[in-house]
Structure 1
């Protein structure tokens, strides 16, 4: 983690993720998530199910415990997908083309992270005062 930038294995910034924030006490975001799941997915979700300490935590406190990219990176002893010689692989490409705009942006940004390095990428984002890869 670099300051408050908690970059996940796939390249998301956990500290800007709604699920991560809801699981760490942000009640307004928790309500938005519950409403989203009810209205958009027709699912009633238990508020206690929003538990995530980021993908570097153990599976029992991770929102996407079945994440194939996480399993692959851990198996290869990598911190980030972009460190892999096969990046972007079929898992990453599938994630980036699943219709979720923040997933697509995450992959685009991971490509830039690979090119200029993580610290330089974060510095660039801070200069822009934006977080393009956040949900």
Structure 2
């Protein structure tokens, strides 16, 4: 587990279907994801576009290159949203309603540090 596997919002990439399909080379899963996203977004998504090496990958090689949280944190010179003076903004509140574990992840990173947090994930 690496620092690049934790999103600015607190998402853990190791739990993400797109990240898993990319890192394992699971083309069947990529096709399933592309089909679901095509329906959800009402546009054709090609399985070849289903690629993500982590929210924090330096080249922004994530499926959602336009991630609001990543862009916002980057623009403010921050790695994680919890370091922002506007934490917890309305967009984060919406995200955390659907994904409360993301907020808890950031709380633990803030409290214990990133290295300790990553080690706790490896031990699980």
TM-score by length of 2: 0.73
Question: How many pairs align?
Answer: 121
Q: Which residue of 2 aligns with 1:20?
A: 19
Among residues 99, 104, 114, which one is paired with 2:100 in the alignment? 104
Residue by residue over 1:14-51, the C-alpha shift from the partner in whole angstroms, topping out at 9 and shown as x without a partner, is 2442112223412353244246447x749663211212
Structure (1 or 2) with the greater helix fraction: 2
Contact 1:21–1:29 (CA under 8 A) maintained in structure 2: no
Q: Which residue of 2 aligns with 1:94?
A: 94
* 111 and 35 in structure 1: CA distance in 2 versus 1, 3 angstrom threshold: same
Q: Secondary structure at the match of 2:5?
A: coil
Off by >6 Å, runs of 4+ in structure 1: none
Q: Which residue of 2 aligns with 1:125?
A: 121
Per-residue deviation at 1:71? 1.2
* 86 and 42 in structure 1: CA distance in 2 versus 1, 3 angstrom threshold: closer
Mapping for residues 33-112 of structure 1, pairs under 5 Å: 33-34=33-34, 36-37=36-37, 41=40, 45-55=45-55, 56-59=57-60, 61-97=61-97, 99=98, 103-112=99-108
TM-score by length of 1: 0.68
Distance in 2 between residues matched to 1:114 and 1:86, nearest whole Å:
15
Q: CA RMSD in A?
A: 2.8
RCO comparison, higher one (Cα < 8 Å, 6+): 2
